[in-house]
Structure 1
Amino acid sequence: MPPPHSGVTLSEKIYALLVEWGIESKLFSITLDNASANDTFVDLLKVQLNMRKQLLGGGKFFHIRCCAHILNLIVQDGLKEVDSAIQKVRESIKYVKGSQGRKQKFLECVSLVNLNAKRSLKQDVPTWWNSTFPMLESALYFRLAFSYLEISDSNFKHSPSRNKWDRIEKLSKFLSVFYEITCVFSETKYPTTDLYFPSIFMARMTLEEHMSGDDVYLKNMATQMFFKFEKYWSEISLILAIAVIFDYRYKIQFVEWSYAKFYGSDSAEFKKVQDHLFSLYDEYAVKVSNTLFALNDIPFDEKNVHKGKNEFLKEFDNFQREFGTAKNKSQLEQYLDEQTVETTIELDILQFWKTNQFRHLEVSAMTRDILAIPVSTVASEFAFSVGGKVLDQY
């Protein structure tokens, strides 16, 4: 697409493509990085789709920000608090890698302190923090070797002090939680949406723990990160919470337990999740019901059933539907009432719902879309969720 890549031109181009592909009425969500042009683009696109009543829930869950990008922004904000210590490590590794002679000198120091020379020092890309964490881990392993290099090489001036090494060690342990989360976001071949809420829960609990801790540097860092975390959490928490409810290992009990830790028991935030869950379900129940009615309108000879018998069964189906609506629990309520399984069990969530789609027809139609929401754009500029599929290479 030639410039300009403004929000208006993006909106016009993408909507034209959606119409050309015939999927403009099938979208559930779009996931983008946090660029201002993207925000304008998605707002305009949502207006166009809403005018034609083509989005569920009025498009409340249409715009999903890239979780990997959000996490990067959050951690980058926190790293500013300890940037001098990280810079020392960065410059130390640059120095060692700067010439073959320095590399050889460093390897001699590694041998002197009996470390594994096959392990390598890793240089980071400062704009992506998840490359900074492996750099710190590798530097910590060779901490003693750097100390020996400082003694044996008078030109080496970058070695962190003991206090800074201690700070880096604490920082590395703190960042390991966020690094694991980033791996969940970016390494899974097809990351279904249910994976994200437990990770986000772990991130928030880690931040709260260090905000109330004794270490001043980590406390300031966690506070800085928490401020930005809350800004983005408020935008994506609802749909991520709804998604994990359809994981048989977690269901709504996990969301209730998590929100109790965040906001206390019987919080308004948890009530909001429940309300939106049932509101979305009601929309899907209508869609499935309309589909079933449409099937009943197929000419009888095409269904290879005797006309009189079909009319009788059709009347019974209508009676059953009305009776069930009045007397029985909805499929969503039935699903929520079922027993969970252990969280340690490996579960292919898409295969589970494929297997159970006829037992929970309305719920499975809903989960197909929600679990397929792309919440990261690691491999693409942005991604669409269309009828349970992810179009992730635009």
Structure 2
Amino acid sequence: MTSFVLQTREISVSHTAENLSEVLNCAIKGWGLIKDGLKPNITTNNAANIVNAVCKSILVHVRCMAHTLNLATQKGMKVEGISEILRKIRRIVGFFHRSSTAAALLKSNQIGLNIPVPKHKLIQVVETRWNSSFDMLKRILEQKHVLSPFKTATEALSGERYPTVSLIFSMKMTLLTHFKPALSDSDMVKQMKEVMHADLSTRYNGQETEQFLLEASILDPRFKLVPHASEEQKAKAYGSFRDQMLSILQTKTEVI
């Protein structure tokens, strides 16, 4: 199939139906496209001004099926539940597009899983094209083995109505346990877990930092038992609390 461009014309006046209709009629007559009384067909999108313009012209209107499908599917995607899922996925994709650090981490995990990075970047939706929503969903599913381990931790650590520092120690230990390969894991999943375990193991390892995070967890009623901490670590933390309390009491006594 070969396509030809017969005319390209700037329309400087307002794009009303009347003005567009006049431009269309002039183009058709100028190129002598009306033969034997037969009106040529025209395909446009469903915008109201162009639809009305064609109705006022000498053309036969065949609306673009792709655009029609887009409008139908866009309405379908606004159904309660579906729209919420798409909104959350757009936020995830948008996060990786905005954050160079997150994008680099994703790329590293993709390489570790032998996923071709250039061909498998996360796709952001284009509101005017329904198929971009499909492509976005398809691509996010390809990446689910890379992204899902971070979901729970990210949601918990992104809270704004509760302190999150007390989550870090237990969250790290839980994730390290989760990332230990299981016998039932495929080679790809094992490799993914090993890469994530190795990376996470190097985080928050400073003695002071680790002690601070452990104490924060113990002071949080949700994690006060800190099952992931050793008895030695707990004893050290409780000793630190005792010393700090004695220091506070001593200071108050001296002031009195």
Going by fraction, where is helix more abundant, 1 or 2?
1
Superposition TM-score, scaled by structure 1 size: 0.33
User: Over alpha carbons, which structure has the higher Rg?
Assistant: 2
